[in-house]
Amino acid sequence: MSILSRIAVSLILLAACALAAAADPVPMYNYIDAPFILPDGGIGKDLTDYLNAKLAGKFTLHLSNVARSKLNYAVLNNPEFKGVVAFTNPAFLGDEGKTKYNWTDSFMTDETQVVSTTAKPVDFKGDKAALKGKTGGGILGFVYKPMEPELGTSIKRDDAASDDKNLEKLLAGKIDFAIMNESAIKYLQTQPNFAGKFTVAKTPISKITRHLMVDKRAPAGLYEALEAIVKAMPNDPQWKAVLSKYGQ
């Protein structure tokens, strides 16, 4: 075989490998409830479609919705994990120094808030002492660092699987307040069974930014491609339309 023939074969094999890598879907996980997960899709599905369109076949993301507890033990602790986690933050995954994973810029802002019923409002102005002796509803597997160490000690904690379940517990008088994201309560308050029944404390527990976490074992070039897309998202009318669709 001539040198030119060998070079041609090598190039064909490299191209085939590149196409195979591009065709192999990269898992992207979402652990945030409504409006990120909805029966007809939610922000998570719309984000996946948006990113895949921008990636234009170079990479393909495949969305999986999982509970936070499952994300912790079955995904992040899996040595074979080579994917992406959407809508998260370095503090949520214990990577404040951004050394364990690769992180994109933020593409969405949110707040963690104290939600209670209009019939029995909880007056929270940033002082955790005001919640002492009360029972707060969180989400199983979630860490609420701004509320620690009081949450779970002087402030009782009673978790549920989802935000809507915590709202149901509030209405039933089983908890005094729920710890929820602004994105969730804004959406859930539009639902007939919850509309007009809840109040949100004027002072948030914390303000947060949402990012994509890209594992360092992910396919080469994926992080750079996603970071380039994310940097343009805040000013992209297409992404703004997605957020507006869900009242964000």
- Asked if the model's pLDDT at residue 74 lies above 60, the reply is yes
What is the band of 5 on the pLDDT scale with cuts at 50, 70, 90?
A: very low
Q: Whole-model pTM?
A: 0.84
Can you tell me the mean pLDDT for 3-15? Answer: 44
pLDDT at residue 23, as a whole number: 57
Nearest to 24 by CA among 68, 62, 71: 62
Interatomic CA distance for residues 40 and 78, integer angstroms: 29
Can you tell me the mean pLDDT for 54-64? Answer: 97
153, two tokens: 């000690």
- Asked if the model's pLDDT at residue 11 lies above 90, the reply is no
CB count within 10 Å of CB 225 equals: 17
First-last CA distance in the chain: 62
- Asked if the model's pLDDT at residue 13 lies above 80, the reply is no
Which H/E stretch holds residue 244? helix 237-245
Interatomic CA distance for residues 36 and 65, integer angstroms: 9
Nearest to 177 by CA among 119, 235, 220: 119
pLDDT at residue 10, as a whole number: 46
Question: Per residue in 140-184, pLDDT tens?
Answer: 988 898 999 999 999 999 999 999 999 999 999 999 999 999 999
- Percent of the chain clearing pLDDT 90 (strictly above): 81
Point out the least confidently predicted range of 7-16, 85-94, 167-176: 7-16
What is the band of 8 on the pLDDT scale with cuts at 50, 70, 90?
A: very low
- Asked if the model's pLDDT at residue 186 lies above 90, the reply is yes
- What is the dihedral sign for C-alpha 113, 40, 90, 56? negative
3-state SS assignment for residue 172: coil
Q: ω into residue 149 within 30 of 0, thus cis?
A: yes
What is the band of 248 on the pLDDT scale with cuts at 50, 70, 90?
A: confident
pLDDT at residue 22, as a whole number: 52
What is the band of 17 on the pLDDT scale with cuts at 50, 70, 90?
A: very low
What is the band of 101 on the pLDDT scale with cuts at 50, 70, 90?
A: very high
- Asked if the model's pLDDT at residue 231 lies above 90, the reply is yes
What is the band of 199 on the pLDDT scale with cuts at 50, 70, 90?
A: very high
When the pLDDT of each residue in the chain is averaged and rounded to a whole number, the result is 90
Can you tell me the mean pLDDT for 36-64? Answer: 96
pLDDT at residue 69, as a whole number: 85
For the chain, where are the E strands, in sequence order? 26-30, 61-65, 84-88, 102-103, 108-117, 135-137, 156-157, 177-181, 198-200, 206-214
